[in-house]
């Protein structure tokens, strides 16, 4: 019997009507004993468990580095072993720490067998490009490499369950159903159908009363899931798994994302001075607000996972794996959930690049914003904001946190910058007097989010007043008609101060900081008045 198919059994009865999908990220997957503790808690609750797992912490980055190292080489088996040495090191450490006796040997053999399959594929195809800048013909091979991380995480968690006396099954080789996608251009909707159909097929025949484990990676998408869905694809797979289970007729009670944080706070506690600021945990937040938080760069959940959950009415929960038995966390709900604060959250994205295009003809011609945005879309760059100033338009680009992803994004922005020296609008070409201005790594975006903003007359001026009182210059501002989010682009070096000030005044209601604000505002008003009187 192989490690991937190894089962062990326990006698706790399951009711068949209490299924939960549980997403475990790479940070927590590296603590298999902690995951086991979570399983025990959910067993006591009588839940039928489905786990969607990410690669162990750091593994995906080692796979990216390995592909980059092999790029352009007529590589040998020895080259492959050197390129994947860090990948091997991480998995070896996991095996040595958590497995013993015959299970340790099975774990080693599981890794060796899977890596041998990967090696033979690499030697056979040799279609390796830089992992984040792929070309046609490389998608299948790079997808196999990326999927190796989640495959190993799922297989080893399954074996660890066996070692610890838990009945489990690793649902291996989940593949996108290309027939379900149909013909023509592959849209997000078609991709969603293909992935969900593939998950449903893989789950056919599995029993609800055992622990079912899926890797977050779904193979067989047209360009590979890391491109088609983005690096947060494991979150999306968890949502798709819940939808697929519902379509199979299982009652999915909740889709949970287990993290090392309690849930959605008024802001990331790491941004605050906890001797002065007191972050508030939201027990409930609306799906629309959760989407705005994700889009602003909070990093808690993936935007596409949230949008699919909203469409299919999934019950999403963020929970702290360190407090699994306490059920501490945030529920993402339908409808409005209002608080007594002026807003719900402050989200800071410290990595914002911006590109400003200045063409005089913009002042009296329509279509420039659309034409310029198409250049970003062509290169697969997501935009966070568009700020128009008559003869110029600034586009803000939220940068990925991962260094290699950021490098790839900037290569794409460089291409966009070169293309936008001239812009074609309504059949005519317009040349920019100067190349587009690229602000690289200098800006941060502060987003204030919450449906409470709709009832706060003058909130925009109050927020900007706080920032200006402490000399924080606002370079761009965006406030949509939905009035659920207002965003400011400011100097990156002042983002922490901005968050702490806004939290002190609008959340903590700190009388000392409010007094300082009034004094500073008065001084600035007096100075401004004197300027006008000259």
What pLDDT score was predicted for residue 13? 37
Q: What is the mean predicted confidence (pLDDT) over 114-143?
A: 81
**How far is 236 from 192, CA to CA, in rounded Å?**
9
CATH number of the domain at 17-259, please?
A: 3.40.1160.10
What pLDDT score was predicted for residue 134? 64
Q: In this predicted structure, which of 469-473, 483-487, 492-496 has the lowest mean pLDDT?
A: 483-487
97 neighbors 156 (Cβ within 8 angstroms): no
175 neighbors 153 (Cβ within 8 angstroms): no
> CB within 8 A of 207, min separation 6: which ones?
169
What pLDDT score was predicted for residue 485? 92
β pairing state of 385-388 and 392-398: antiparallel
The full length of the chain comes to: 534
Which residues sit opposite 19 in a β-bridge? Answer: 48, 252
81 neighbors 55 (Cβ within 8 angstroms): no
| Total Cβ atoms within 10 A of residue 10 | 13
CATH number of the domain at 345-533, please?
A: 3.30.2130.10
Q: Give how far Cα 439 sits from Cα of 224, 295, 383, 443, 446, Å.
A: 31, 21, 14, 7, 17
Nearest to 445 by CA among 404, 478, 483: 478
What pLDDT score was predicted for residue 388? 82
What order of strands is seen across the sheet that includes strand 385-388?
A: 385-388, 392-398, 345-358, 437-449, 485-491, 474-479
pLDDT tier at 11, thresholds 50, 70, 90: very low
Question: Above 90 in pLDDT, residue 416?
Answer: yes
Give the largest Cα separation in the chain, rounded: 90
In 260-344, at which residue ranges do the beta strands (DSSP E only) sit?
A: 284-286, 316-320, 329-333
**How far is 199 from 237, CA to CA, in rounded Å?**
9
Model pLDDT for residues 429-448, shown as the tens digit of each residue? 998 888 899 999 889 999 99
pLDDT tier at 522, thresholds 50, 70, 90: confident
| Whether the model pTM is above 0.85 | yes
Q: What is the 3-state secondary structure (H, E, C) of 284-296?
A: EEEHHHHHHHHHH
Question: Above 70 in pLDDT, residue 149?
Answer: yes
pLDDT tier at 5, thresholds 50, 70, 90: very low
Residues of the chain with CATH 3.40.1160.10: 17-259
Residues of the chain with CATH 3.30.2130.10: 345-533
252 neighbors 299 (Cβ within 8 angstroms): no
Which residues sit opposite 437 in a β-bridge? Answer: 356
Handedness of CA 221, 258, 304, 255 (dihedral sign): positive
User: How many Å from the N-terminal Cα to the C-terminal Cα in the chain?
Assistant: 90
DSSP 485: E
Give the DSSP letter string of 139-176: HHHHHHHHHHHHHHHHHHHHHHHHHTT--EEE----B-
Mean of per-residue pLDDT scores for the chain: 90
**How far is 129 from 224, CA to CA, in rounded Å?**
13
What pLDDT score was predicted for residue 1? 39
Nearest to 402 by CA among 31, 60, 143, 8: 60
197-203 contacts, C-beta under 8 A, 24 or more apart = 197/244, 198/174, 199/174, 199/237, 199/240, 199/241, 199/244, 200/244, 200/247, 200/248, 201/177, 202/171, 202/173, 202/174, 202/175, 203/171, 203/241, 203/244, 203/245, 203/248
19 neighbors 247 (Cβ within 8 angstroms): no
138 neighbors 70 (Cβ within 8 angstroms): no
Q: Torsion-angle region of residue 173: left (phi > 0), alpha (psi -120 to 50) or beta?
A: left
Model pLDDT for residues 48-68, shown as the tens digit of each residue? 999 999 999 999 999 989 998
**How far is 259 from 318, CA to CA, in rounded Å?**
7
What pLDDT score was predicted for residue 9? 34
472 neighbors 498 (Cβ within 8 angstroms): yes
């Amino acid at each position: 019997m192989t490690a991937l198919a190894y089962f062990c059994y326990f006698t706790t009865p399951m009711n068949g009507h209490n299924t939960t999908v549980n997403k475990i990220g790479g940070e927590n997957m590296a603590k298999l004993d902690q995951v086991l503790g979570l399983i025990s808690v959910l067993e006591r609750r009588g839940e039928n468990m489905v786990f969607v797992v990410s690669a162990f912490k750091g593994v995906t980055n080692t796979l990216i580095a390995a592909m980059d190292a092999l790029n352009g080489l007529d590589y040998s088996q020895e080259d492959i072993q050197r390129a994947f040495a860090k990948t091997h090191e991480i998995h070896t450490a996991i095996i040595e720490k958590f497995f013993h006796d015959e299970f340790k040997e099975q774990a080693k053999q599981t890794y060796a067998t899977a890596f041998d399959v990967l090696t033979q594929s690499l030697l056979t195809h040799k279609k390796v490009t830089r992992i984040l800048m792929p070309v046609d013909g490389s998608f299948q091979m790079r997808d196999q490499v990326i999927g190796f991380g989640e495959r190993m995480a799922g297989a080893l968690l399954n074996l660890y369950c066996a070692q610890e006396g838990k009945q489990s099954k690793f649902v291996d080789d989940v593949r996108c159903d290309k027939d379900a996608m149909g013909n023509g251009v592959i849209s997000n909707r078609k991709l969603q159908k293909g992935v969900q159909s593939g998950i449903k097929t893989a789950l056919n025949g599995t029993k609800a009363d055992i622990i079912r484990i899926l890797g977050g990676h779904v193979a067989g998408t047209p360009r590979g899931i890391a491109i088609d869905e983005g690096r947060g694809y494991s979150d999306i797979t968890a949502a798709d798994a819940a939808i697929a289970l519902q379509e199979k007729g299982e009652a999915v009670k909740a889709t949970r994302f287990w993290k090392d944080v309690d849930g959605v706070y008024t802001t990331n506690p790491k941004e605050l001075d906890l001797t002065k600021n007191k972050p508030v945990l939201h027990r409930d937040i609306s799906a629309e607000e959760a989407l705005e938080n994700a889009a602003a760069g909070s990093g808690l959940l993936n935007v596409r996972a949230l949008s699919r959950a909203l469409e299919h009415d999934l019950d999403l929960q963020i929970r702290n794996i360190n407090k699994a038995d306490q059920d501490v966390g945030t529920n993402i709900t339908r409808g409005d959930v209002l608080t007594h604060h002026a807003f719900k959250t402050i989200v800071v994205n410290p990595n914002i690049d911006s590109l400003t295009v200045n063409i005089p003809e913009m002042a009296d011609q329509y279509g420039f914003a659309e034409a310029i945005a198409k250049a970003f879309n062509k290169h697969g760059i997501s935009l966070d904001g568009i700020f128009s100033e008559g003869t110029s338009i600034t586009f803000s680009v939220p940068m990925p946190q991962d260094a290699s992803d950021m490098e790839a994004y900037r290569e794409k922005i460089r291409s966009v910058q070169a293309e936008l020296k001239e812009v074609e609008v309504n059949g005519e070409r317009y040349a920019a007097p100067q190349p587009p201005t690229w602000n690289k790594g200098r800006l941060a975006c502060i987003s204030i989010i919450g449906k409470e903003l709709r009832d706060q007359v003058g909130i925009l001026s109050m927020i900007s007043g706080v920032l200006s009182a402490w000399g924080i210059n606002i370079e761009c501002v965006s406030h949509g008609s939905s009035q659920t989010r207002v965003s400011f682009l400011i100097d990156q070096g002042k983002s922490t101060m901005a968050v702490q000030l806004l939290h002190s005044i609008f959340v903590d209601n700190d009388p000392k900081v409010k007094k300082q604000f009034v004094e500073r505002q008065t001084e600035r008003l007096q100075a401004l008045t004197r300027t006008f009187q000259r």
